[in-house]
Amino acid sequence: MNTTVKAYLAEMELEAATTRRLLERVPGDKLDWQPHPKSMTLGRLAHHVATAPQEFAKMMATDTLDSKDMDFTPTVMKSVKELIPAFEDAMSTTQKILSGWDDKTANATWKFIHNGEAVISAPRTAVFRQFSLNHWYHHRAQLGVYLRLLDVPVPMTYGPSADENPF
């Protein structure tokens, strides 16, 4: 297995604990809530946070992905009870996919085609970092803001929150 991939898997394992703490606090009676009409609903955002790394890892199964072959319909959760199982499945699937990346696969150029043009063309590991891990953290932070706006105690992430201070 590629050393960069090993590092990503270790990072994901550490970050999964933080992600789980946030997902466990998503109130089941507020899944349709959104802070602004242009914003995702809480349920859609929470599901996206739960599954984003897996979705990107699956997209990178081939060397080229064309947007015309993608279904951009978001998953709609019926119950908050679906969230943690979806998260656990996503983490397991992502780990399996990445564990199969040898040096050749990890370093190969991956392309995303939109309207016949390559809008992304970079080594697979670089794309996974930016569009999976960084993307995941970005939306996880959004989820923390949603919880704050709903007056749900926000767990600590990289340090104390206003609601949790273990020090």
φ, ψ of residue 76 in degrees (nearest 5): -110, 120
The pLDDT of residue 64 is 94
Q: Work out the average pLDDT over 6-21.
A: 95
Q: How far apart are CA 49 and CA 135, in angstroms?
A: 9
Residues 136/50, Cβ–Cβ less than 8 Å = no
CA distances from 19 to 86, 144, 162 (A): 12, 10, 17
Q: Work out the average pLDDT over 123-151.
A: 95
pTM above 0.95, yes or no: no
Residue 128's pLDDT band (cuts 50, 70, 90): very high
Which domains are assigned to the chain? 3-149 (1.20.120.450)
CA distances from 6 to 9, 98, 106, 107 (A): 5, 8, 11, 13
The pLDDT of residue 76 is 83
* Each residue's pLDDT tens digit, 77-107: 889 999 999 999 999 999 999 999 999 999 9
Strand 64-66 vs strand 109-114: parallel, antiparallel, or unpaired? parallel
